[in-house]
Structure 1
C-alpha cells in the first residue's frame, strides 16, 4: 500500500508543484488549501506525512498542530515558511514537527526529504 502525503498550502502553484513531484515518487497525495480543510482531512484519515505551510487562512499551521496534538494525533510534519528562522523557533514546541524548511525551496530537496522520511 502506497504512503500518503498531505500538502497544505493556500498557494495553488505550490500545491500543484508539490503534488506533482511527490506523486512522481510513487506516493499518494492529498491537498488542503487551509488549516480547517487539513484538520478535517487528517481526522478522517491520517496521512503518513504532512507538508504544512506556516501561514494559512482560517486555521494557521501552528494552530492546526496544536489542535491535532490535543487530540493525540501525531503525524510527521514538515513546516514550510517564508520566515524559516521564526517558524523553526515556534515549531520546537510541537512533537509532530520533524523539520522546518524555507520558501522558496528546491524541488530535489523536497523529493529527497520525502523519500528519506517515508522509507
Structure 2
C-alpha cells in the first residue's frame, strides 16, 4: 500500500484478491477507489472497520473469518485502463446501509488519508 509505494514499489507485496471498489464517474475515464480488506485488526487510531457477519455473507466473503475494511489508505485507478484489476465479476456487495456511512466518513476525512495513485 502507501508504505510500499513511497519506496518506489509499483506492485503490492501481497496479493489482495478481495477489495472494496467504489466507481466515480469522471470525464477522462471513470475512477475507481480500492479499499483493501485485511484479516488483521489494525490499531485503534487507524480508520478501519470490522465487517459484520451479515455483510460478509452479502459480499460473498467467509462469514467465520474476521475481516476489516481499511479506509485510511486506498488505491485509485482508471476503469478499463488498469493493469492491476483482474476482469473478474464482483464476488458480492455490501449493503448500502452498511457501506454508505463508511463512505461518508471517508469523504469527511479525504484530505488526511493516503492515496496510492495507480494510473500515473
Category of TM-score, reference length = shorter chain:
under 0.3
Q: Which protein is bigger by CA-based radius of gyration?
A: 2
TM-score normalized by the length of structure 2: 0.26
TM-score if structure 1 supplies the norm length? Answer: 0.27
* Greater relative contact order, per chain length (Cα 8 Å cut-off, separation 6+): 2
